[in-house]
Every structure is written in structure tokens, then in C-alpha cells.
Amino acid sequence: MKLLYTPNTRTAIRKLLAVFILLSVFSISSMAENTIEISPEQINNLDVQLGKLESASQIPLLTAPAKVVIPSEHEYIVNASQSGLISRLHASVGDRVKKGSLLAQINSPDLLALQGRYLKTISALNLATVNYQRDKKLLKDGVIAARREQETLSLYNAAILDVNEAQQLLEIAGMSGNDIKQLKNTHQLNSALNVHAPISGVVIERMVVAGTRVDMLAPLYRIADLNELWLEINIPQERVSDINVGNQVWIENTQVSAKISLLGQSVNPENQTIMARAILQGDHTGIRPGQRVNIQIIQPSDNDTFKVPNTAIAQNEGKSFVFIRTPKGFNVSTITVVGKQDNYSTITGDFTGNEDIAIKGAVALKANWLGLGSAE
């Protein structure tokens, strides 16, 4: 089959060749734009240092302020169970106390009244017991009617209730079982009320001084168990969608970590933040209640991510780049910065993970790449 070349055919072929040549030139130009040809001597002159890509399994999401708080179930206010005069204080702020440790002593006239009532109920119960045992025997012998025995039984049961009530009032007032037993045996009244620690922990606050007269239920101490602490984190409301329960949290300038356990459901109208709660993990020595800290929220990475120094990244026209070492110099590789932490950035890009990159001198390489400087 013979092809006929008309003038129109020749014109079309010339246009196609021209387009092909332009595309080839553009392709070669684009490849050249992403390549820096530079000798080892020039690299030394530019003080360029090389390093390996470091694989990163986590991405820093954001930095936010936080406050260290005590869980509500681990904090107790110790109150005066009776009114009276503080005669002695045995604990100061910062002291570690064990459950049952003596914290304070109160001289309480009201306690004397409770003790006197208890002893009276004991005496009444003894009398009711004697009467009931007597009438019970008389009923058995047929001397008295059953109604009489029922009346004494009723009085006996009422006396038991009175004793139990008086004893519980003494326990509420702060007397121990041994103290109550000693009172029952000796019948000696004692106005000294001992205040004991309800839990093992640290004295966070003392609200009274010796010689103070206090009312019933007046606060004396605040004690907290510091084995578990929380972080209350203020997260900008527009970033909350990036955070998930279970994300890891690091306190800046420490080795202390936490895990997010709760995301708040309301926005603080004053600063438009949402409160997130994180529970401190492991040893958190050096972190104290009330402390203000800065934290970073970390998220596991689902893709291949790498950690590089910030000095390895160059910026141009709103994009980020790193320089990959080649036998002839460097290739300029576009990257995406997905997180930052201290002096490092977490990036993604077209990497195998075995590349050598410029970790120092990226500014000089950028200038050479853009033709703004000399490699001499």
C-alpha cells in the first residue's frame, strides 16, 4: 500500500514532531530542575552533612497547654466530727501519712456528752436485761401473765437499740472500737478527740492552726493519693476532630507520658477550647498537682513516615523539600510535613528508607538549586 503525502499531511507531521520535541525538552528540563550536580569537594565547601532517614511510627499532632490535677476519688477533705478546740496538730503540708495515722487532737465538750449518753444506755440495758431475765423465769413458773413478760421484752429491745445508736454516734464522732470498749469497761470520760487519716497519701493543705475553735464538720486537712494523676488539656475546638481517645501524650522536657481517656463535650466560651483528660502513665516523679505544663499529642502512623531534623528541610513556593544524595550530587525530593516535635519533623515522601539526605546545609543546597549562589 502506497502512502500519499499531501501538503496537509506534511503540515500535520511537522506539528506532531514539534510537539514531541517540546515535550522532550520540557521533560529533560524538569528532570534537570530536580537535580543538583555537585562534587564532593563542593559539598565539603558548603559544609553539607549527610544522615540516614529515621523511621517514625508516630506523628506529633499538636502542642497544647495542660494542668496536672488529682482524680476526685483520690482526694479527701478531713473534717472535725465534733466542735471543739484544736489542741494539737500532728501533720504539716507535704507530709506523707498512712491510713489511720493521727492527724490532730480536738478537745470537745460535745464528745463528753456523747460518752455520757452511751454509758447511760449501757446502764439502762443492764437493768432491762435483768428485768427481762427475771420476768422470763416468772412466766415459766406461772407467777406472772404473758403480757408482763412481753412488756419487759419490749423495754429490753428498746435498750439494745439505744446502746447501738449511742455507739454509732461515738464512731461517727471519731472514736475507735477500742476506745469505745475502753470507755465501756472503765466508765472514764475523755474529751480528747483524735482525728485520723482516712487514706494513705500526702497532705496537700492544712486549714487550721493549733488553738483554733472549730465547729462540727469544719475542714482540717486535704489529703490526696498521688499515685494517679490526670492532665486536663485545652484543645482548640477546630482540632478536636484530629484527636482520639487512646492517643499518647508527652509532657515537654520530660520523659513522662499519658494516654487520653476522655474528650469533653462542651466548648469553653472564653478561649474556645475543649477539655481532654489524659491519665499519666508509669513513673511521673517530678510532676505535681496544680502544675502547668505544655504537652504534645502523638498519633500512630498508618503510612511510611520518617523523622528528620528541621535543618534538613528546604521551603520553596509553599512546598517542602529534602535533598537525597546521588553519585553526581543530590536529587530534590518533594515531601509532606505531617508533624513537628522539638527540633525534628515527621515527613512522608517517595522514599525507600535507605537514602542518605542532607541533614545540614539544606539552605546552601537550595540556593545552588535555584541558582542563587555558588558551590565554590
Q: What is the pLDDT along the chain (376 residues), one digit of tens a residue?
A: 444 445 555 554 554 444 343 333 333 333 346 888 888 888 888 888 988 888 887 788 888 999 999 999 999 999 999 999 999 999 999 999 999 999 999 999 999 999 999 999 999 999 999 999 998 898 888 888 889 889 999 999 999 999 999 999 999 988 888 999 999 999 999 999 999 999 999 999 999 999 999 999 999 999 999 999 999 999 999 989 889 999 999 998 899 999 999 999 999 999 999 999 999 999 988 899 999 999 999 887 767 888 888 888 988 888 999 999 999 889 998 988 888 777 888 888 888 888 888 888 888 888 888 875 444 4
**238 shares its domain with 295:** yes
Tell whether 26 is covered by a domain.
no
Distance CA 334, CA 337 (A): 10
Tell whether 36 is covered by a domain.
no
According to the model, what pLDDT value does residue 301 have?
75
Choose one of 256, 272, 301: the last residue of a domain: 301
Tell whether 289 is covered by a domain.
yes
DSSP 243: -
**84 shares its domain with 203:** yes
**119 shares its domain with 104:** no
Query: Is pTM, for the whole model, over 0.75?
Result: no
Q: Which are the contacts of 107, defined by CB distance < 8 A and separation ≥ 6?
A: 84, 85, 87, 191, 192, 193
According to the model, what pLDDT value does residue 11 have?
54
- 187: its cell numbers: 466508765
- Cα 29 to chain centroid, rounded: 54
Tell whether 38 is covered by a domain.
no
Distance CA 191, CA 172 (A): 15
What are residue 277's DSSP bridge partners?
232, 262
- 216: its cell numbers: 462540727
Residue 327, number of CB atoms within 10 A of its CB:
4
Tell whether 338 is covered by a domain.
no
**195 shares its domain with 220:** yes
According to the model, what pLDDT value does residue 3 have?
44
**92 shares its domain with 204:** yes
**114 shares its domain with 169:** yes
Choose one of 199, 224, 249: the last residue of a domain: 224
**281 shares its domain with 294:** yes
**144 shares its domain with 172:** yes
**196 shares its domain with 100:** yes
**211 shares its domain with 104:** yes
Residue by residue, DSSP assigns 184-212 as HHH-----EEEEE-SSSEEEEEE---TT-
Distance CA 341, CA 63 (A): 9
Choose one of 188, 215, 237: the last residue of a domain: 188
DSSP 302: E
Tell whether 82 is covered by a domain.
yes
* The total number of structural domains that make up the chain: 3
Which residues span the domain enclosing 162?
109-188
The CATH number assigned to the domain holding 197 equals 2.40.50.100
Tell whether 220 is covered by a domain.
yes
Angle formed by the axes of helices 146-173 and 177-186, to 10°?
130
Tell whether 174 is covered by a domain.
yes
**260 shares its domain with 153:** no
**117 shares its domain with 173:** yes
Phi, psi of 64 (to 5 degrees): -150, 155
